[in-house]
Amino acid sequence: MPKTNRWISLSANSTARGSTYSSPTANFYRPNRDPAARSKAAAQVFLGTRLQCAECHNHPFDRWTQDDYYDWADLFARVKYKVIENKREISSDEHEWNGEQIVFVARAGSVKNLRTGKDAQPRFLGDPLTSRRAGEAENANEPSSNPSKAGERVSARPHEVPLSGRDSGGSPPDELEALANWLTSPTNALFARVQVNRIWYQLMGRGLVDPPDDFRATNPASHPALLDALAQDFVKHKFDVRDLIRLIMNSRTYQLASEPNDTNAGDEINFSRVLARRLGAEQLLDCQSEVTGVPLKFAGYPVGLRAAQLPGVRPESKGKRRANQWDQFLELFGKPPRLLTTDTERSCECNMGQAFQMISGPTVNELLSEKENRVSRLLASGESNQEVLEELFWGTLTRAPTPAELGNLSPGLDSTKERRAELEDILWGLLNSKDFLFRK
């Protein structure tokens, strides 16, 4: 398997086992405690498919049946846990796991199909051939219902990924490794399309399929030819994410301005202009820290840890630890607790609470009033007022101040006796400007 797609391989195959402390990929299974949760998470993350409805009945808006759901869930039935410790802050919270666990694959384990009352048979989602060994496939020439694209057949290659034989004696098949190989196979067009669409969503603010983890016939891509071309290029370059990002960012579509004109003022789906978006919660807090030159201090973490490095927002609870102002800032600006699989758990919407936080909240004020911050270093540098203003603009907005901006700010800075207070006010204004708060 190509090294560049090792990230998906490690998430799904045999290396995602062992201690959740020493084997980070084992934590993929940490919040997903049973085969049902694992199967729904894997389908949504890796295949952009929402299977929740198919658990109780055939999916009303998609092709998936109950049999599809239970056979897919059966792939994860043998994943087990050994809890070494669990130091819950709230003893009654059964969903909190704070401590080491050992993830392993047992020799036995199955999921019961509630429709038939029988044990399900492990089968890749939408692929009827992979639950049989080579030479045993029935109707092998019939088109597969693989969800890559309507009408597109994907080879099951059962001789390479046999999934039957649990009860045949000897070592049971490594179904998770087979799953990883199938997911990242060049013949599995859906995986490539889903990952390409997710990167596009992150860069452009809207997916070619939107929401980005809801691929189905009734939610088609806005630009199917573009999605297919990007997916083919992604496979061609062995799932190289950097190459994909380079390709998109060098495109004219990505480099368009955000300012609308008469022809595209109302367009939000055709990518005729850049959609202005507020910075994400972590981006915004990290940028404020970088601009002011003040490292963040999260309880329980080393000083200087970036907000983007935190695993999830830590809301204030009734437990021993109380969220500090940085946690509250992240929660207010939409950082999710990462309890759901969907990409849409995060919010980048704007509201009045966020405006008040930026205007008079403790986070911005503490960063500005810190004794050893960018303002204090500029005051000690001996630079002229114009040089200080230019450095503040470059450090905050990555551009020089316009003549009009210099004309508005310089007189007050030249005449004040409280130079630090004036510079703090100027930097406060820059941090509250649309140029700083929005990606445009």
pLDDT band per the 50, 70, 90 thresholds, residue 93: low
- The stretch 110-135 carries a mean pLDDT of 72
The answer, yes or no, to whether residue 147 has pLDDT greater than 50, is no
- More confident call, 285 vs 100: 285
pLDDT tens digits for range 20-53: 788 777 877 777 888 888 889 889 988 998 888 8
Last residue of a domain, one of 250, 274, 298: 274
**171, part of any domain:** yes
> Contact, 148 vs 193, CB < 8 A?
yes
Helix/strand/coil for 367: helix
Instruction: Quote the pLDDT of residue 7.
Output: 52
- The stretch 419-437 carries a mean pLDDT of 96
Last residue of a domain, one of 323, 344, 368: 368
Judge if 179 and 215 occupy the same domain.
no
Judge if 10 and 94 occupy the same domain.
yes
Judge if 17 and 121 occupy the same domain.
yes
**23, part of any domain:** yes
* Rounded Cα–Cα distance for residues 30 and 38 (Å): 10
Percent of the chain, pLDDT > 90?
40
The burial of 138, by beta-carbon neighbours within 10 Å (0-12 exposed, 13-18 middle, 19 or more buried), is given as: exposed
Judge if 240 and 253 occupy the same domain.
yes
Last residue of a domain, one of 341, 368, 395: 368
**359, part of any domain:** yes
pLDDT tens digits for range 178-217: 888 888 888 888 999 999 999 999 999 899 999 998 999 8
Q: Which amino acid is at 298?
A: F
- More confident call, 390 vs 185: 390
Q: Which amino acid is at 263?
A: T
**159, part of any domain:** yes
Instruction: Quote the pLDDT of residue 14.
Output: 40
Instruction: Quote the pLDDT of residue 341.
Output: 74
Residues 57, 47, 80, 130: is their CA dihedral positive or negative?
Answer: positive
The answer, yes or no, to whether residue 343 has pLDDT greater than 50, is yes
pLDDT tens digits for range 291-329: 999 999 888 789 999 999 887 666 554 444 456 788 889
pLDDT band per the 50, 70, 90 thresholds, residue 132: very low
Judge if 337 and 351 occupy the same domain.
yes
Instruction: Quote the pLDDT of residue 269.
Output: 87
Instruction: Quote the pLDDT of residue 52.
Output: 85
Instruction: Quote the pLDDT of residue 348.
Output: 82
* Rounded Cα–Cα distance for residues 111 and 76 (Å): 9
Instruction: Quote the pLDDT of residue 150.
Output: 39
Instruction: Quote the pLDDT of residue 282.
Output: 93
- The stretch 95-118 carries a mean pLDDT of 83
Instruction: Quote the pLDDT of residue 252.
Output: 94
User: Is 0.75 surpassed by the pTM of this model?
Assistant: yes
Q: State the residue range of the domain holding 109.
A: 1-145+155-183
Judge if 324 and 247 occupy the same domain.
no
The full DSSP string for 148-208 is TSTT------TTTS----TTSSSSPP-HHHHHHHHHT-TT-HHHHHHHHHHHHHHHHSS-S
Residue 292's nearest CA partner among 411, 201, 374, 180 is 374
**34, part of any domain:** yes
Judge if 264 and 411 occupy the same domain.
no
Strand partners, 104: 80
Instruction: Quote the pLDDT of residue 438.
Output: 92
Judge if 159 and 30 occupy the same domain.
yes
Instruction: Quote the pLDDT of residue 338.
Output: 74
- The stretch 331-341 carries a mean pLDDT of 82
The answer, yes or no, to whether residue 149 has pLDDT greater than 70, is no
Judge if 433 and 332 occupy the same domain.
no
Residue 284's nearest CA partner among 317, 308, 313, 320 is 308
Judge if 177 and 59 occupy the same domain.
yes
> Contact, 92 vs 84, CB < 8 A?
no
Preceding peptide of 143 cis, ω within 30°: no
The burial of 266, by beta-carbon neighbours within 10 Å (0-12 exposed, 13-18 middle, 19 or more buried), is given as: exposed
Judge if 128 and 21 occupy the same domain.
yes
> Contact, 130 vs 163, CB < 8 A?
yes
- The stretch 260-281 carries a mean pLDDT of 88
* Rounded Cα–Cα distance for residues 311 and 69 (Å): 29
- More confident call, 170 vs 25: 25
Judge if 362 and 284 occupy the same domain.
yes
**432, part of any domain:** yes
**150, part of any domain:** no
pLDDT band per the 50, 70, 90 thresholds, residue 5: low
- More confident call, 393 vs 143: 393
- Strand (E) or helix (H) holding 312: none
Instruction: Quote the pLDDT of residue 106.
Output: 84
* Rounded Cα–Cα distance for residues 339 and 50 (Å): 16
- The stretch 219-240 carries a mean pLDDT of 94
**76, part of any domain:** yes
Percent of the chain, pLDDT > 70?
81
Average confidence score pLDDT of the chain? 81
The answer, yes or no, to whether residue 134 has pLDDT greater than 50, is no
Domain total for the chain?
4
Residue 127's nearest CA partner among 154, 149, 159, 166 is 154
